[in-house]
Chain A
Amino acid sequence: MKKLVEIVNLKKYFRVGKNQILKAVNDVSIDIYRGETLGVVGESGCGKTTLGRTVVRLYRPTAGKVLYNGLDVHKAAGQEKKALYRRMQMIFQDPYASLNPRMTVNEIIGEALDIHRIAGGSQRRERIMELLRLVGLNVDHANRFPHEFSGGQRQRIGIARALAVDPEFIVCDEPISALDVSIQAQVVNLLEELQERLGLTYMFIAHDLSMVRHISSRVAVMYLGKVVELAGSDELYENPLHPYTRALLSSIPVADPDIEAERRRIILAGDVPSPVNPPPGCAFVSRCPQAMKECNQEIPVFKEIGDHHFAACHRLG
C-alpha cells in the first residue's frame, strides 16, 4: 500500500506558564496508508486531538514534520497550501460548537465551494443538494439553521462540509462521542459507506475502543503524548503487548453479560500524570504494574516487535 501521510518525529508543545511546557505530542511517528482507517485511541489528555489538529495544519508543530504525498504540510504556501486544504479535511467532536449558528446549511457547505471556486451559480446549488443527499439529509434542509437539527443531523452537516471540497483524507476527531448510541451507529455506517464510495482515508480519533476496532484497519494507542503501541486492529485487540494497552483493553466494558462475568480486569491505580513536566523515562511508569528500574530512567524505543506490530516498552524484545 502507498503512504499518504507520513508523520515524522512530530512534537507539539504548549507554553502554559512560566517555565512550564505542556508536551501534548511528544515525538510521534506514524505512516497513514491510502484508503485505510487509522484509529487513534487513548485517555483524555493523551494528545490524540492535538496530533490530529497538527496533522491538518490547525497547529504549527514545535518540531518534526508531516508529509502529505511527500509534500511538507507545514511548509506549503500559496497555491500549494490551498490545494492541500482541498485534500485534507476534518470532522469535529462537538456538532454544536463546530457549525456557525448564524449561517444556514446552504452557506456552511457553500462557503467551502466558494473559497476553492469549485462551483458557482446553478452548479453550486446542485453540488450542495448532492452533498446533502450523500450524507442522508433532506434537500429542503438547506435553508435551515444548525439549531433546527439534532446532534446526529448536525454531525451529518459537518461531514457534508468536509466532503464539499472532494478531500482524500479526513481527520475525524471523536465524531460520535457526543451522540446517542443508536445515532452513533448511523454516523459510523455513513462514514464507512462514504469511505467505500469515495475511497477516503481516515484518521479516526476516539476513546470508544470497541467502535475504533470496528472501523479501523490499524490502531495507534497514545499515552501522555507518545504512541506506545501500533498494530493492525485485530492483532492489537487480540494480542496487546504494551502493559498500558492491555489495561486499557481490559477496562472496555463489553455488551455481553457472559463475557463480562468471565473477564479479569487489570485495574490501573491512579490517574494519567500531568503532561506538564512528565516523568523522565517511560511515561507510563507511575501506573505500570510491571515497571522495572530502567523504566524510570530511560525512554523506551518505539520498535517493531512482531509483524507490523510496534510498541515502546523495556519489557518487550
Chain B
Amino acid sequence: MKKLLSVNNLQVHFTTFAGEVQAVRGVSFDLAAGEAIAVVGESGCGKSVTAQSIMKLIPSPPGRYMAGEIFFNGENLLPKTEKEMETIRGKDIGMIFQDPMTSLNPTMKVGHQIVEMLKKHTNLTGEAVKRRAVEMLALVGLPNPEKRYDQYPHQFSGGMRQRAMIAMALACNPRLLIADEPTTALDVTIQAQILELMQELKDKLGTSIILITHDLGVVAGFASRVIVMYAGKVVESGTTGEIFYRHRHPYTRGLLASVPRPGKEIRKKLNPIAGRPPGLINPPRGCAFWPRCDRAMQVCREVQPDMVQLSDTHWVSCWLTHEFAAKGANVRS
C-alpha cells in the first residue's frame, strides 16, 4: 500500500515556567492510504501533541519542533510556512476534536461555516457550494439537513455537533482525517453512531484515519494498527491483533489489565499499573516506564531500549525482548 503519512523522529518541546517540557520525544510511524490506525496512551503521553504537529497547530511559543520530519504525500510539512499550511489544513487533512465547541464558531450558522471552508479550498461557487454543504450534513446523518444548515451550534445536541464537525472536516474530501478523542465526551449509544459513521466514511471515501483515544474498546473495533505511546515515546506498535493478544511491552499489558475483561472473567480483580506517569520536564534517563514496571531490570534505569522489530508490523521498545534477558520474560496476560 502507498504511504500517505510518515512521521520520523518527531520531537516537540514546550517552554514553561517550571522548565522545558519534552512532550514528544522522538515519535515515528507510517500510515498507508485508506488505513485506520489508533494512537493510545494516558493523558500527557504526547498523543494529542503528535496529532496537532501533523496539522502544525502547536502554538509557538511556547511550543517548538525540536527535530524530526512529517512527510505527507511526499512533502515535509515541518518547514512549511503558516500560509502554505492553510492550503493543506481542512483540504488535505481534516481534524476533529473531543469538544466540538472548540472548532465550531458559536456565532456563525453551521451551514455557513462549511460554506466558508468550501469557498476557500474548492472552485465551487454560488448554489453549488450550498448544495454541497447540505449534502455533507446529510452524509453525516443529520436529520433535516436543510433546516440544520441555518441553525447555530448551540441549537445542536452534543452528538449532532460532533456530526457537524465531521461534516466540516470531510467537506473537502481530505485524504487524512485526524480524530482526537472524538467520542470521549459522548454517551455510548451516540459513540456507537459516530464510530459507525467514521467507519462508513472510511470505506466509502477511502479516507485514512488516525484515531487518538484512551479507550481500548474503541480501538479494538475500529483500527487495524495500534501505536501505544508512553511519556512522549512510542513503546509498542503493531496490528490490532498483535497489540491485544501478543503484546510484549509491560505498559501495553498494564493498560489492557486495567479494563475489566469481557465475558465470564469480568469479576476478576483488576491489575492496575502502580503509580503514575513521570513528569516530562525531567524524564527518567532510561526507559520512561521503569519506575512503574514490575519487571524492571538494572539496565532499564540507565539506558533507553531500542525499537526492536518482532514481525513485519510489530515493533516494541523494551529490554525484556533482548536475547540476554531472563527467560520467561515474554510478556503475556
A253 to B221, CA, bound (A): 7
In the complex, are the beta carbons of A43 and B188 less than 8 A apart?
A: yes
Contact residues on B (Cβ < 8 Å of other chain), bracket: 35 or more
A180's contact among B42, B217, B244, by CB below 8 Å, is which? Answer: B42
Segment 214-244 of B: residues with Cβ below 8 Å from A: 214-221, 240-241, 244
A267's contact among B192, B216, B259, B273, by CB below 8 Å, is which? Answer: B192
Contact mask for chain B residues 250-276; partner A; CB cutoff 8 A; 1 contact, 0 none: 000011111110110011011111101
Distance between A175 CB and nearest chain B CB, rounded to angstroms = 14
A237 to B143, CA, bound (A): 32
Contact mask for chain A residues 212-250; partner B; CB cutoff 8 A; 1 contact, 0 none: 011000000000000000000000010000000001101
> Which residues on A sit within 8 Å (CB–CB) of B195?
253
In the complex, are the beta carbons of B254 and A257 less than 8 A apart?
A: no
B244's contact among A181, A183, A255, by CB below 8 Å, is which? Answer: A255
Consensus secondary structure, chain A interface: helix
Total interface residues on A, CB under 8 Å, equals 42
In the complex, are the beta carbons of B270 and A214 less than 8 A apart?
A: yes
A181 to B263, CA, bound (A): 19
> Which residues on B sit within 8 Å (CB–CB) of A44?
187
A258 to B220, CA, bound (A): 8
Residues of B bordering A, CB below 8 Å = 42-43, 143, 157-160, 187-193, 195-196, 214-221, 240-241, 244-245, 254-260, 262-263, 266-267, 269-274, 276
B266's contact among A183, A210, A247, A265, by CB below 8 Å, is which? Answer: A210
> Which residues on B sit within 8 Å (CB–CB) of A254?
217, 220-221, 262
B258's contact among A182, A253, A256, by CB below 8 Å, is which? Answer: A182
Distance between B34 CB and nearest chain A CB, rounded to angstroms = 19
Segment 145-183 of A: residues with Cβ below 8 Å from B: 150, 152, 180-183
> Which residues on B sit within 8 Å (CB–CB) of A9?
none
Query: For the complex, is A260 an interface residue (Cβ under 8 Å from B)?
Result: yes
In the complex, are the beta carbons of A189 and B276 less than 8 A apart?
A: no
B270's contact among A185, A257, A259, by CB below 8 Å, is which? Answer: A185
In the complex, are the beta carbons of B220 and A180 less than 8 A apart?
A: no
* Most chain A beta-carbon contacts within 10 A, residue among B221, B241, B255: B221
5 A–B contacts from the bound complex (CB under 8 Å):
A181-B255, A248-B188, A251-B192, A256-B220, A259-B220
* Most chain A beta-carbon contacts within 10 A, residue among B241, B257, B274, B276: B276
A111 to B274, CA, bound (A): 30
Consensus secondary structure, chain B interface: helix
Given A180-B214, A254-B262, decide whether A268 and B189 contact each other with a Cβ distance below 8 A. yes
A270 to B192, CA, bound (A): 12
Query: For the complex, is A21 an interface residue (Cβ under 8 Å from B)?
Result: no
Q: How many A-B residue pairs have CB under 8 A?
A: 124
In the complex, are the beta carbons of B189 and A186 less than 8 A apart?
A: no
Segment 237-293 of A: residues with Cβ below 8 Å from B: 237, 247-248, 250-261, 263, 265, 267-268, 270-272
Query: For the complex, is A184 an interface residue (Cβ under 8 Å from B)?
Result: yes
Distance between A310 CB and nearest chain B CB, rounded to angstroms = 21
Given A183-B276, A211-B260, A271-B160, decide whether A260 and B188 contact each other with a Cβ distance below 8 A. no
In the complex, are the beta carbons of B189 and A43 less than 8 A apart?
A: yes
In the complex, are the beta carbons of B217 and A209 less than 8 A apart?
A: no
> Which residues on A sit within 8 Å (CB–CB) of B157?
271
Query: For the complex, is A30 an interface residue (Cβ under 8 Å from B)?
Result: no
Query: For the complex, is A188 an interface residue (Cβ under 8 Å from B)?
Result: yes
Shortest Cβ-Cβ A-B pairs, 4 listed: A253-B217, A185-B272, A251-B192, A260-B221
> Which residues on A sit within 8 Å (CB–CB) of B269?
189, 192
B216's contact among A181, A188, A258, by CB below 8 Å, is which? Answer: A181
In the complex, are the beta carbons of A186 and B272 less than 8 A apart?
A: yes
Query: For the complex, is A124 an interface residue (Cβ under 8 Å from B)?
Result: no
In the complex, are the beta carbons of A267 and B193 less than 8 A apart?
A: yes
Segment 182-200 of A: residues with Cβ below 8 Å from B: 182-186, 188-189, 192
Query: For the complex, is A87 an interface residue (Cβ under 8 Å from B)?
Result: no
